[in-house]
Amino acid sequence: MLNRSRRLRTSAAMRNLVAETDLRPRHLIQGHFVHPQVGSIEISSMPGICNAGVEDTVRQVEKDLKRGLTNLLLFGVPDDAAKSPDAAYVKDREGVIPQTVRALKKAFGSDLIVITDVCLCGATSHGHCGLVSEEGEVLNDPSLPILAEMALRHAEAGADIVSPSDMMDGRVAAIRALLDQNGFTSTSILSYAIKHSGAYYGPFREAAHSSPKFGDRKTYQMDPRNAREGLRDALLDIEEGADLLMVKPALPNLDLIFRLRQATLAPLCAYHVSSEFSTVKAADRLGWVNGDQLMFEHLLAIRRAGADMIVTYAAREAVEKGWIS
C-alpha cells in the first residue's frame, strides 16, 4: 500500500514529530471571581473555582505564576448592597477590581498579564449589562461613558488589558478614546467580539450574582443562529480600536473561531465559558466521562480551530495535573 497513514502514528515520538497543535501555559488565561469580603467560597456549580477576597486572590495567583500561568481575567462580584440602577460602583477607585489589580501589579509587576472584564451587570441592581430605561429597554449610548469610565479605573489601577463584555455598540471606540485622553495609550482592549446569548453562562451568573432580574440579554448579545452577524461585528471592533478579539462560547462556535481566524490578522481569543467547564465537571462526578481528559480535549479543539489563547476555568488544573507543561 502506497499510502499508510498509520506509519506516522507508530510511537509517541513520531506522533509528536507530526503534531500540528500545541497547548502551552502561555495560551491559557485563568478566570477569577473576586469579592470584597475576606476569604474564599467555592462556587457550587464550578468545582475548584472560588469567589475569593483580594488577599486570597493574590496568594492564588502567586501559586499559579510559579507553575507558569502568567495570564488571568478578573471579574468583580460586588456586594448586593453596593448595586444600583446606574452601576455607580464601577466608577469607584476603591472598588474590588481596582483594589485587586493594584495588589496584583504591586506583587508581580510585568510578570503577570492582568485582564479585567468590563461590564455593568455585576453592579446594576437590575442585572443588565447596560443602563435600563423606565420602559425596561437596555440603553446603548447612555451606557458607553460608564463603561469607558470603568475601563479607565482598571487602567489606572494597572490593568494590561481591558475586556468589554457588555455588547453595547460603539463601546470599544468609547473606551479607546477615554483611555487615550487620559494617557493610557498602551492599555490594550480585548473585545468580546462574538458573544452569543443563551444558556451557556448559567454557572457564571450564579457565581457573579449577575442574572438579569427581568427579561433576557437577547437585545444586545448575538443570536446563536447567526454567523455572519458575528464576523461583521468583530471586524467593526477592529476598526474601533480593539487589539484582540474574543469568541464565546468556544466549542459551540468552532466554526466562527475558524472563520474569524481567516478574516482578520488580529490575535484571537476564545472563551471556554462556565457551562462548558461545569458540564464536564458534572459528568465526571457522575462517573460518566473522564473529565480531565475531556477538558484537555476541549482546549485542544479550540486551539486547533484557530484560537491563539483561551480563557478557561481549567487553566490551573491543566498545569497542576500536568496535562500541559
119 binds Zn ion (CB under 5 A): yes
Q: Which residues on adjacent β-strands are paired with residue 217?
A: none
Interface segment toward ligand PBG; rule CB under 6 A; list 53-61, 113-121, 148-156, 231-239: 113-121
The pairing of strands 131-132 and 138-139 is antiparallel
Could you say which of 63, 106, 213, 248 is catalytic? 248
What phi and psi values does residue 281 have, to the nearest 5 degrees?
Answer: -65, -40
Three-state SS sequence of 118-136: ECCCCCECCCCCCEECCCC
* Interaction partner, residue 205 (ligand PBG, Zn ion, none; CB < 5-8 Å by kind): ligand PBG
- Does the annotation mark 195 as catalytic? yes
119 binds ligand PBG (CB under 6 A): yes
- Spatial contact of 201 and 129, defined as CB atoms under 8 Å apart: no
Query: What cell does 86 get?
Result: 446606574
DSSP letters, 180-243, are HHTT-TT-EEEEEEEEB-SGGGHHHHHHHT---SSS-STTTSBPTT-SHHHHHHHHHHHHHT-S
147 binds Zn ion (CB under 5 A): no
Q: Which of residues 200-259 bind Zn ion (CB under 5 A)?
A: none
- Spatial contact of 306 and 257, defined as CB atoms under 8 Å apart: yes
273 binds ligand PBG (CB under 6 A): yes
Distance (Å, whole) CA 43 – CA 288: 22
Distance (Å, whole) CA 68 – CA 26: 8
121 binds Zn ion (CB under 5 A): yes
Q: Which residues on adjacent β-strands are paired with residue 113?
A: 71
Taking the complex as a whole, the smallest distance from the CB of residue 90 to ligand PBG amounts, in Å, to 12
Interface segment toward ligand PBG; rule CB under 6 A; list 61-69, 89-97, 171-179, 197-205: 197-205
Count of residues binding ligand PBG (CB under 6 A)? 11
Could you say which of 63, 105, 195, 218 is catalytic? 195
Complex with Zn ion: residue 219 or 290, whichever CB lies closer: 219
118 binds Zn ion (CB under 5 A): no
204 binds ligand PBG (CB under 6 A): yes
- Spatial contact of 317 and 299, defined as CB atoms under 8 Å apart: no
* Interaction partner, residue 116 (ligand PBG, Zn ion, none; CB < 5-8 Å by kind): none
Total residue length of the chain: 325
- Does the annotation mark 106 as catalytic? no
121 binds ligand PBG (CB under 6 A): yes
* Interacting residues with ligand PBG (CB under 6 A): 117, 119, 121, 129, 165, 201, 204-205, 210, 273-274
Binding site for Zn ion (CB under 5 A): 119, 121, 129
User: Annotated active-site positions, please?
Assistant: 195, 248
